[in-house]
Amino acid sequence: MPTRERAGGRFEDFSAAGPDKDSHQSRDPETVGETIRRPANLHKRVLIVEDHPLNMKLFRVLLHSRGYDTVEAGDGNLGLNLARAEKPDLIIMDIQLPDVSGIQIIRALKADDRTRNIPIVAITASMPDEEANIRAAGGDAFLRKPIAGAEFLRLVRSLLREVEPGC
Ligand code: MN
């Protein structure tokens, strides 16, 4: 289990989760073309899967404040479809969703070649075993509610490789 005193964090095996993540060679041509069209670190898109309007607004405001674009889904199946269609750079995944557990969506995303390399931050309510289940499903990181904005943005930047891990 991750340490109790921390509000969240990346799982230890994150750095091994995507050996090809800094290379375009394994990506499909559509994604490569998309990457080439825009300057690095500009207008990266983050998919937010969150059913609670106030949490959605919080994530949106925080991400827009740093220049990220957002794609938004209020339930798990819409989130899954948007991830496949839009290929965002990062996914914020609430676990408690109205239609299906976010853990099932993480599992589906990580089982799909189209989406497996997209980092996922799971938003947890600290239910028993939830973090272990997130990790087992392939989630890259988690944050516990209530969300602290600065920590959220630090984790986003880290997963987007905009800062070095551990710095
Ligand atoms: Mn929820």
Task: Name residues whose C-beta falls within 8 Å of residue 88's C-beta, 6 or more positions apart in sequence.
Answer: 45, 46, 47, 71, 82, 118
Q: 98 alpha carbon to ligand 1 midpoint, in Å?
A: 7
pLDDT attached to residue 8: 76
The answer to whether residue 12 sits within a structural domain is no
* pLDDT score, position 9: 73
Is residue 128 a part of any domain in this protein?
yes
pLDDT confidence of residue 27: 45
Instruction: Report the separation in Å between the CA atom of 119 and the middle of ligand 1, taken as the mean of its atom positions.
Output: 19
Q: What is the rounded distance in angstroms from the CA atom of residue 125 to the CA atom of residue 111? A: 24
Task: Provide the residue-wise pLDDT of the chain in tens; the chain has 167 residues.
Answer: 444 445 677 775 443 344 444 444 444 444 444 444 444 556 899 999 999 999 999 999 999 999 999 999 999 999 999 999 999 999 999 999 999 999 999 999 999 999 999 999 999 987 888 999 999 999 999 999 999 999 999 999 999 998 655 54
Domain harbouring 105, CATH code: 3.40.50.2300
Q: Report the domain count for the chain.
A: 1
- Which residue range is the domain that position 97 belongs to? 43-145
- CA of 167 relative to ligand 1 center, distance in Å: 31
Question: Any idea how long the chain is?
Answer: 167
Residue 9 lies in a domain: no
* Closest by CA position to 117, among listed 3, 6, 21, 13: 21
Model pLDDT, residue 6: 54
Does a structural domain hold residue 24?
A: no
Say if 7 falls within a structural domain: no
* Ligand 1 centroid to residue 49 C-alpha, Å: 9
Residue 37 lies in a domain: no
Q: Is the pTM higher than 0.85? A: no
Q: Is residue 158 part of a domain?
A: no
Residue type, 74: G
Cβ partners under 8 Å of residue 58, min gap 6: 147, 149
Residue 164: predicted pLDDT: 52
63 domain residue, yes or no: yes
What is the 63 CA–ligand 1 centroid distance (Å)?
Answer: 19
pLDDT on residue 3: 41
Predicted pLDDT at 163: 62
